Structure 1
């Protein structure tokens, strides 16, 4: 468990200030709490979307967000570790590259993810492609397949991601079986 209370707190009041901090500190290995003002503090507000853009530009990633007080929040930002890229993040990175905003450290994070296969790791999940073992399990529990296909796209994506991220074949098999059994009853996997 990460001791998040020990992370350095860095306060910014503009997107430019955040970009300058990242330009100077992007190579540090530790996560930080980025302290920003809420929307009602107009002259010091930095949006969540602007934060995401800037951290992606420098090869970092956004994390959990917490209320600090009535006027401020803090959001964990961290150097990107070896992990898959969500479709939305890949699309956002492409726009940042096209706009000429991506820093060399952000480009290096993308290149490394492409090299190690994590850039495209979730493409099948994002495309809602069911793996063969899940198809077989759903078909063995009628009417699981029909119910599963009727779930909202976001629900199916979350289930497919949960299955794909299983660390062992045994865990994967258990998740697939649980999915099929619950889908046969038109029930979704409770997300934990």
Structure 2
């Protein structure tokens, strides 16, 4: 399956997303909504907010993209906790363990 990203949308908050949906729900077939990680410091709409507003206008979310983690990427607390759980249940694979930065390893041991 090949995915073609035709048009993206950056919104600063839930209200901007709702306004876009109100204006375009009937004349657009798709939009790629941009999300920011908390650590980026940029404001935007959350996933839950975006789905709720989309449902109000008869829309729903679709594809989620996964990519290899970059060596300098920030680790959210929720992902550190996920990794801690995956290690404790022996589900974490060698490639995942190999890319854990020292600071994440410290948090997991704490």
Q: TM-score, normalised by structure 1?
A: 0.31
Equivalent residue number for residue 22 of structure 2: 23
Runs of 4+ in 1 over 6 A off after TM superposition: 67-71
Structure showing greater Rg? 1
Aligned positions of 1:116-135 closer than 5 A: none
Q: Corresponding residue for 1:66?
A: 65
User: How many Å apart are 1:67 and its aligned residue?
Assistant: 6.3
User: Which has a greater percent of strand?
Assistant: 1
CA contact (8 A) 1:38 1:45 kept: no
Alpha-carbon RMSD across the aligned residues, in angstroms, is: 2.7
Gaps of 5+ in 2: 75-110
Q: Which residue of 1 aligns with 2:13?
A: 14
Does the CA-based 8 Å contact 1:39-1:45 persist in structure 2?
A: no
Distance 1:16 1:36 in 2: 15
What number of residue pairs does the alignment pair up?
A: 70
Q: What's the offset of the Cα at 1:40?
A: 2.1
SS of equivalent residue, structure 1 residue 20: helix
Greater fraction of residues in helix: 1
More contact order relative to length (CA 8 Å, sep ≥ 6): 2
CA distance in 1, matches of 2:5, 2:46: 24
Secondary structure at 2:32 match in 1? strand
